[in-house]
Amino acid sequence: MRPQPGTVLGGRYELISRIAVGGMGEVWKGRDSVIDREVAAKILKEEYLSDQGFLDRFRAEARSMGAVSHPGIAAVYDYGEETGSPYLVMEYVPGEPLSSLIDRNVVLPEADVLELTAQSAEALGAAHRSGVVHRDVKPGNILVTPDFRVKLTDFGIARVTDQAPLTKTGQVMGTAQYLAPEQATGKGSTPKSDLYSLGIIMYEALAGRRPFTGDSQVAIAIAQVNTAPPELPTTVSEPIRRLVDSLLSKKQELRPESGEALATAARALRAGDVAAAEAAVPQMIAGAAAAASAHEAVTRAFNQPAADGTRVMDQSEASGAAPATAPATATLPQQQDPDGDLDEADEGTMSTGAKVAIGVLVALVIAGLAWVLWIFFGGSGDPDPQPTGTPTAEVTEEDATITIDPTAYIGQSEASATRNLEQLGLEVSAVEVESDRAAGTVADVRSGNNGYDFQEGDTVTIEISTGPAEVPQEDTQDDSGSDEDSGQDSGQGSGSDDGSGSDSGSGSDDGSGSGDGSGQDDGSDQGGDSGGDDSQNGGGGNEDGDGTGDDDQSGGGGNGGGEGDDSGSGSGGSEGGLGGLSEQVDSTNGGE
């Protein structure tokens, strides 16, 4: 079934307009005719109807969302099938996805980010308590209502803990930019995987960019596993940076314990209570301790006491100290014997100690500098992830084929579609077209030389709607007769009559007629009213009238009878007109 406006699902849900196109299906706005309320209907795409895996996943979404009841999660009302196409009826949420807010504003205020995070974390916590892991938390699946309330949607790839998995071992599910490291490596998802994805969203909303990027989805996933996120801008307050760092930890045990704990910490930071936030998420303190430890190490490395290598040794210190620990660069006093001669043995011993000390200190300084540089530029601070020395280009072949689904981009804003295509390694060209879609959204994606199969670096052309074209208004009034139309009209009328007699005439193309009678009557009629302007298009006909004088008739009339100054006109049939109405102007096409 291909949904369109007016389609009725299950005998009660009438589709009104399409809202969006997702990976598995289309989402439509509709109305429940039974209880008269707005709903959202998600319908599985036609190309997936024969794929049992997608059918199972679609049904699993209905079960997952139906298992959770929370104000922050879009409610499920019904599930059914129409002509073999499964559909899911959900709560209609007015508003827009968080991705649109970020696209429009780039960077959101800290207070708004914390509030959105708190509401999203509460909703995820409710799902986790019900045994449901979302596995695809991203800005496009977080709807924000006009009163700034959050609704989580699209549990299409959610995993229910007490159900058999729908994916094979090692299969990666989710969107690469928001994948947790354990998801990227195919090790499965946990509630803390959803919290990691929420941390990516926080980072993006605060910094105006995502922390991990790459030339392909695979390269981005590898960066999620191996690379530490860049530091947030210094304009972000330090406690919020520590909260984001705890969410983006590669180790799950270093992330917040639950969605509820994260919500408590976010609201505490919004209120300025850092201690309450640290009590809810102790991992923030661990992050602070790690930062302090690194700072202290750097301080020690670059602020060694000068006495360790440059002071002049006192005689008393020299007599009590071991020769090997003599200063490396000191000006050593020459010890003399009672006779005033230099003690050669002592001089030789001090020279050997100085050389040993110089070697040890140089080695220590080099090792310390190397360690400090590795902390700041080479390592992530986590022993588990592997070094990032392997180029990401080895992940995919240079000429790897990229296949896109054009329907997935139709309806998106130009900025969103361009960003999503560029993340696949494609160049984007936009052209404006007239379309019935909203202005500024994608109306279509043009195919390339190989259909929708592209190579990295190829250009994809997207059509951006400028809105529907204005339909010119048709001129419904015809001021002149037509020589090519024919028809018969009959009319009756009564009016002023100067005499009685028999009047017969035949219409001609120039609208002239002749009649026999007594008296004289000049009339020019249009459309069946005497005393006015009347033009009638039609074929030749007969007009019998009882009147006086000559009667001028424009066009060829049908059969008409009347008294006085009257001519009747009609459209393909019999029409009676009241003579003598001089104000009305009629124009009719005979034979219509």
Q: Taking the chain (592 residues) in consecutive chunks of 10 residues, what is each chunk's mean pLDDT?
A: 93 95 87 96 90 83 82 92 91 94 96 98 95 91 96 69 39 74 91 97 97 92 94 96 97 96 98 96 77 50 47 47 42 43 43 72 82 66 44 43 86 85 87 86 88 86 81 48 40 41 41 40 40 40 41 40 40 38 38 38
Query: What pLDDT score was predicted for residue 438?
Result: 82
The Cα 390–Cα 387 span in angstroms is 8
Determine the pLDDT at residue 140.
92
> In a 3-state reduction of DSSP, which class is residue 162?
coil
Contact (Cβ atoms closer than 8 angstroms) between residue 142 and residue 240: no
Cα 417 off chain centre by: 8
* Predicted local confidence at residue 399, as pLDDT: 52
pLDDT at 293: 52
Residues with Cβ within 8 Å of residue 276, at least 6 apart in sequence: 264, 265, 268
Task: Give the HSE-up count for residue 367: Cα atoms under 13 Å, Cβ half-sphere.
Answer: 6
| Token output for 265 | 């910490």
The pLDDT of residue 296 is 53
**Centroid of chain to Cα 212:** 19
Tell me the longest C-alpha to C-alpha distance in the chain.
Answer: 174
pLDDT for the residue numbered 374: 72
Q: Looking at residue 412, what is its pLDDT? A: 86
**Residue 20's pLDDT is what?**
87
Domains in the chain (CATH in brackets) are 8-91 (3.30.200.20), 96-290 (1.10.510.10), 306-370 (no CATH), 397-465 (3.30.10.20), 479-592 (no CATH)
pLDDT digits (tens, 9 = 90+) for 25-65: 899 999 999 999 999 999 988 888 888 888 887 888 778 77
Rounded to the nearest 5 degrees, what angle is found at the Cα of 577, between the Cα atoms of 549 and 495?
40
pLDDT tens per residue, range 161-190: 433 333 443 444 568 899 999 999 988 899
pTM of structure:
0.51
Question: 190, 184 in Cβ contact below 8 A?
Answer: no
**Would you please indicate which residues are annotated as catalytic (active-site) residues?**
136
Q: pLDDT for 252-300, tens place per residue? A: 999 999 999 999 999 999 999 999 999 999 999 975 555 555 445 544 5
